[in-house]
């Protein structure tokens, strides 16, 4: 991960006077009690799909809007986009490649994002597509000299033209050839074209487009950067719905790490995503916040003050007071598909907490007659578990690997039936 932290920081996070160490020893994790996903705020149990959809789901969505990610603006009435190029012989003839610019506003200097779309060359009918938020410009996704170099934000928060050597820099994370061979397309957008990822980056992104007159900073309850990235994913979906070569009823969304948090929130709000994949999304994503293991709320809010709604800071060192936990956010995907994945070497993201988030969300799928994770016991390495909700943990570090994609493609086939 480009901005991942060192082992030292991982083991000793000195964010607050009260709490100096991140726990990475299971025996030291204190007991906690999760809020009930299947009970209304009034305490009344939720026992059928209709009460979930009409009563409990809106309650949880409202809690997450108010307390965690912040409230996002509605879908714009009109999508402005321009198809920049179509290449029918990309990747040695395996793919059709399209590059599309999506405009967030009519203002000439407003942010815009480029969508890179690879579709299987031999497709006889519109192809299902996996959409991903990427950490690098579109030229980093594959070793494809036909993709123009994008401008990228640097570590010192400056925007610079990318160097040729960064081409394909994320290729192992996208496995485009495997995706195409499965009969699917891959679409990616570069998250920092939606909002650059540093405190103060907001003013270069889309959030100011929605400020009230005179507003210069977000207010408590307003959306943070994670929600902005999620909103950008929905705008990419708006385009995919217009592309006749895409089967828009079969679009899944993947995000890794902070972008896994964004994928969860995008899937919660936008039912057009038929599944989401949270790859090592950790704290503020799939991991149970009440579990005191690895990263915690204070560390997240201190190191990344721009990611969440200002109200989320109320829960620094007070996770037990949250009227929510990650199983409730994940349950917002029901009855669509949900895949949560972890890596053994990524203890900062709390693999067991991610598993428990998915496992404790699963009863909601059962209301729809679907099967969730099906066990409360954490599986061994490389032993995926579950059905409409799936989980795996693999060996290795914080990353997206070929093994991960092999599992995601099997899941996509089961979800899409093709």
Q: DSSP alpha helices (H): ranges in 43-128? A: 49-51, 57-67, 90-93
To ligand GTR, the closest distance from the beta carbon of 13 in angstroms equals 9
First to last CA, the chain: 32
* 354 is a contact residue toward ligand GTR (CB under 6 A): no
Task: Mark 65-94 with x for binding to ligand GTR (rule: CB under 6 A) and - for no binding.
Answer: ------------------------------
User: Choosing from 134, 162, 234, 257, which is the catalytic residue?
Assistant: 257
Q: What is the CA radius of gyration of the chain?
A: 20
Q: What is the DSSP string of 340-405?
A: EEEETT-GGG-HHHHHHHHHHHTHHHHHTT------SSPPPTT--EESSEEEEEESSSSS--HHHH
Question: What are the beta bridge partners of residue 103?
Answer: 80, 112
* 12 is a contact residue toward ligand GTR (CB under 6 A): no
- Closest CB to ligand GTR among residues 9, 38: 9
* 11 is a contact residue toward ligand GTR (CB under 6 A): no
Angle at the Cα of 181 from the Cα atoms of 177 and 185, rounded to 5 degrees: 75
* 340 is a contact residue toward ligand GTR (CB under 6 A): no
Between CA 220 and CA 223 the distance in angstroms is 8
* 255 is a contact residue toward ligand GTR (CB under 6 A): no
Instruction: Find out whether 193 and 199 touch, Cβ atoms under 8 Å.
Output: no
- Closest CB to ligand GTR among residues 5, 79: 5
Phi, psi of 399 (to 5 degrees): -175, 175
Chosen residue from 3, 88, 371, 382 binding ligand GTR by CB under 6 A: 3
Give the list of residues 6+ apart from residue 377 with CB closer than 8 angstroms, or none: none
CA 263 to chain centre: 2
* 1 is a contact residue toward ligand GTR (CB under 6 A): yes
To ligand GTR, the closest distance from the beta carbon of 45 in angstroms equals 33
Task: Mark 260-299 with x for binding to ligand GTR (rule: CB under 6 A) and - for no binding.
Answer: ----------------------xx-----------x----
Phi, psi of 267 (to 5 degrees): -65, -35
CB atoms closer than 10 angstroms to residue 183: 18
- Closest CB to ligand GTR among residues 258, 327: 258
* 192 is a contact residue toward ligand GTR (CB under 6 A): no
Q: Which of 204, 200, 191 is nearest to 263 (CA)?
A: 191
Phi, psi of 183 (to 5 degrees): 95, 10
Q: DSSP alpha helices (H): ranges in 318-401? A: 326-331, 351-361, 363-367
To ligand GTR, the closest distance from the beta carbon of 44 in angstroms equals 35
257 classed as catalytic: yes
* 378 is a contact residue toward ligand GTR (CB under 6 A): no
- Closest CB to ligand GTR among residues 184, 265: 265
- Closest CB to ligand GTR among residues 167, 258: 258
* 140 is a contact residue toward ligand GTR (CB under 6 A): no
To ligand GTR, the closest distance from the beta carbon of 258 in angstroms equals 3
User: Both tokens of residue 3?
Assistant: 């901005």
To ligand GTR, the closest distance from the beta carbon of 102 in angstroms equals 23
- Closest CB to ligand GTR among residues 57, 258: 258
Q: Which stretch binds ligand GTR (CB under 6 A): 1-9, 93-101, 126-134, 171-179?
A: 1-9
Between CA 102 and CA 236 the distance in angstroms is 8
User: Both tokens of residue 185?
Assistant: 């397309």
Helix crossing, 225-242 with 258-269: angle to 10°?
A: 60
* 320 is a contact residue toward ligand GTR (CB under 6 A): no
4 classed as catalytic: no
Binding stretches for ligand GTR (CB under 6 A)? 1, 3-5, 257-258, 282-283, 295, 300
Active site members: 257, 398
């Amino acid at each position: 991960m480009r901005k991942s932290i060192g082992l030292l920081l991982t083991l000793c996070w000195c964010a607050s006077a009260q709490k100096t160490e991140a726990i990475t020893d299971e025996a030291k994790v204190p007991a906690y009690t999760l809020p009930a996903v299947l009970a209304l705020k009034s305490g009344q149990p939720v026992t059928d799909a209709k009460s979930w959809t009409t009563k409990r789901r809106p309650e949880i969505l409202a809690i997450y809007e108010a307390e965690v990610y912040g409230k996002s603006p509605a879908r714009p009435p009109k999508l402005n986009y321009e198809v920049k190029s179509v290449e029918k012989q990309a990747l040695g003839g395996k793919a059709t490649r399209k590059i599309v610019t999506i405009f967030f506003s009519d203002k000439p200097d407003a942010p815009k994002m480029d969508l890179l779309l690879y579709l299987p060359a031999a497709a006889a009918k519109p192809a299902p597509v996996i959409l991903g938020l990427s950490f690098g410009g579109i030229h980093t996704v594959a070793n494809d000299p036909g993709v123009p170099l994008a401008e990228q934000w640097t570590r010192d928060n400056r925007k610079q033209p990318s160097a040729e050597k960064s081409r394909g820099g994320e290729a192992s994370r996208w496995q485009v050839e495997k995706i195409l061979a499965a009969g699917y397309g891959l679409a990616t957008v570069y998250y920092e074209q939606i909002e650059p990822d540093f405190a103060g980056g907001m003013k270069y992104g889309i959030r100011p487009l929605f400020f009230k007159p005179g507003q210069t900073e977000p207010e408590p309850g307003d959306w943070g950067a994670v929600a902005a990235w999620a909103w950008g994913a929905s705008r990419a979906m708006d385009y995919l719905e217009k592309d006749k070569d895409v089967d828009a009823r079969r679009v899944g969304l993947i995000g890794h790490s902070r972008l896994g948090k964004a994928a969860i929130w995008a899937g919660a709000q936008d039912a057009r995503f038929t599944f989401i994949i949270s790859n090592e999304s950790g704290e503020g994503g799939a991991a149970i916040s009440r579990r005191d293991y690895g990263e915690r709320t204070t560390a997240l809010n201190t190191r990344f003050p721009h990611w969440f709604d200002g109200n989320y800071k109320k829960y620094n060192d007070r996770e037990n007071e949250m009227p929510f936990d990650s199983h409730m956010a994940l349950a917002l995907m029901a009855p669509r598909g949900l895949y949560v994945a972890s890596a053994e070497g990524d203890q900062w993201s709390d693999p067991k907490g991610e598993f428990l988030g998915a496992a404790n969300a699963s009863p909601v799928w059962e209301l729809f007659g679907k099967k969730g994770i099906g066990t409360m016991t954490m599986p061994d390495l490389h032993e995926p578990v579950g059905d409409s909700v799936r989980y795996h943990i693999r060996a290795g570090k914080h990353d997206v690997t070929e093994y991960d994609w092999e599992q995601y493609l099997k899941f996509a086939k089961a979800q899409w039936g093709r």
